[in-house]
Every structure is written in C-alpha cells, then in structure tokens.
Amino acid sequence: MEKNRITCQSEFEPDLPELFVNKNQIMEMFLNLIINAIDAIGSEGGTIRLRALKQDHDNRPMIRIEIADTGCGISEKDKGSIFDRYYTTKETGTGLGLSVVERIISAHSGKIEVQSRVGEGTTFILHLPY
C-alpha cells in the first residue's frame, strides 16, 4: 500500500458485538478483498476505506462491513462474473479470490454485495450475523 501511495481509513462503530467466526477464514477473506482493492487502485494512488457498524439485514441482527476503494471499478458486464471460479481480468490472477470470499461468507451465514462504478471505485459490503 505504501509503495502505491494508498491511504487506508477505518471507521468502526464503538461497542460492536463480538462475532463467532473461523478466524483464519475471515483473515483470508479480508486479505483477498484488500489485495483486490490494492490491485484496482494500481500505481496511481488512492484510498481504501474500511467501515463496520451494526445494521439489521434480512430482519436479522448483523454487522455491516464495507471495504471501499477508489480504484478502476467494475463494469456492469463483469459484475455478473466476478464471483465465478477462475474469472479474472488480471494477467496473473487465478480468479479464485472472490469465489473463496463468497464461500467463507456463506459458511458464516452472511451476505455479500458489490457496488461499483467504472473510473470511480468499488465497495464490497459484507453482512455477518452476530
């Protein structure tokens, strides 16, 4: 992140409830999402913003976690494929990262959403029950 002049901001609601999770899987999930954000920003510099707050989802008590980047964004056409195994737009990508993320989220009874605009950036929104 330093090399690519990426700033990281985080904003966590105080007194968030604890989540019962598989820590290694959750770490792997965040690593995949953050590396994707770094790749999307590239060498031009930018910002990655992390946010967490309590917010009900599907009428269930959840923690909402956002990973937002100011990178290249995802086209409408690509949005439907990014969670597919082996789908990549990178020369050396495996295309496995987001399929692993999706599997980990669903193993934790969570949900994942993506909002993106080409040239503006991307936000992945995770909902995890507590």
Burial, 86: exposed, middle or buried (Cβ in 10 Å; 0-12, 13-18, 19+)? exposed
| Nearer residue to ligand ATP within complex by CB, 37 or 105 | 37
Q: Which of 29, 34, 36, 110 binds Mg ion (CB under 5 A)?
A: 36
**What angle is formed at CA 118 by the lines to CA 117 and CA 124, rounded to 5 degrees?**
45
Interaction residues for ligand ATP, span 53-72 (CB under 6 A)? 69, 71-72
Binding to Mg ion by residue 97, rule CB under 5 A?
A: yes
Binding to ligand ATP by residue 96, rule CB under 6 A?
A: yes
In whole angstroms, what is the distance from residue 40 CA to residue 73 CA? Answer: 7
In whole angstroms, what is the distance from residue 69 CA to residue 54 CA? Answer: 21
Closest approach, Cβ 14 to ligand ATP, in A, equals 27
Q: How many CB atoms lie within 10 A of CB 107?
A: 12
Binding to ligand ATP by residue 4, rule CB under 6 A?
A: no
Whether the CB-CB separation of 3 and 71 falls below 8 Å is answered with: no
Q: Which of 21, 51, 87, 103 binds ligand ATP (CB under 6 A)?
A: 87
Footprint of ligand ATP (CB under 6 A)? 32, 36-37, 40, 69, 71-74, 78, 82, 87-90, 93-99, 122
Footprint of Mg ion (CB under 5 A)? 36, 97
